[in-house]
């Protein structure tokens, strides 16, 4: 389970990086709080940060469920896949929003596998 915790921590650190990048873009482009619109670079950075937060709501519980009921190493590996997907999503979105698709899909598939595996593993444990 240590590797699962390490990967969860790395994913959260990645999210903090996205949060800092959004803050830097806010300052660089002089978008005064609480405004969420302004320069396109700021809006892109905020969407990456916001979308990642939205994904974490499902990803983190799914990661732990999969680790508990299926496989900690498998959970850690899928967690790393999610993290890479988020990095690709960030790079694509800030450069050219239509390029965010592959990174989004990678993260979504990793989360879906974690969630499905976690539910099925918990069900198997409950009935058998």
Using an 8 Å Cβ cutoff, are 81 and 110 in contact? yes
The string of pLDDT tens digits covering residues 64-103 is 999 999 999 999 999 999 999 999 999 999 999 999 999 9
- Asked if the bond preceding 34 is cis, omega within 30° of 0, the reply is yes
Q: Which residues contact 29 (CB under 8 A, 6 or more apart)?
A: 38, 39, 41, 42
Q: Which residues contact 45 (CB under 8 A, 6 or more apart)?
A: 18, 21, 22, 24, 25, 94
CA torsion sign for 46, 34, 54, 1 is positive
Give 47's pLDDT tier (boundaries 50, 70, 90).
Answer: very high
- What average pLDDT score do residues 57-61 get? 98
Using an 8 Å Cβ cutoff, are 22 and 49 in contact? yes
Q: Catalogue all structural domains in the chain, each as residue range(s) with its CATH number.
A: 2-123 (1.20.120.550)
Hey, is 34 helix, strand or coil?
A: coil
Quote the pTM value. Answer: 0.94
Judged on CB neighbours under 10 Å (0-12, 13-18, 19+), 91 is middle
Using an 8 Å Cβ cutoff, are 64 and 79 in contact? no
């Amino acid at each position: 389970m240590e590797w699962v915790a390490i990967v969860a921590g790395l994913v959260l650190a990645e999210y903090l990086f996205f949060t800092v990048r959004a803050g830097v873009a806010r300052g660089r482009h002089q978008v005064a709080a609480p405004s969420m619109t302004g320069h396109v670079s700021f809006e892109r950075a905020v969407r990456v940060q916001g979308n990642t937060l939205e994904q974490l709501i499902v990803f983190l519980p799914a990661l732990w469920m999969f680790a508990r009921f299926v496989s900690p190493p498998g959970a850690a590996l899928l967690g790393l896949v999610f993290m890479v997907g988020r990095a690709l999503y960030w790079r694509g979105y800030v450069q050219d929003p239509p390029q965010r698709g592959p990174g989004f899909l990678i993260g979504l598939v990793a989360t879906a596998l974690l969630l499905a595996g976690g539910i099925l593993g918990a069900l198997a444990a409950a009935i058998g």
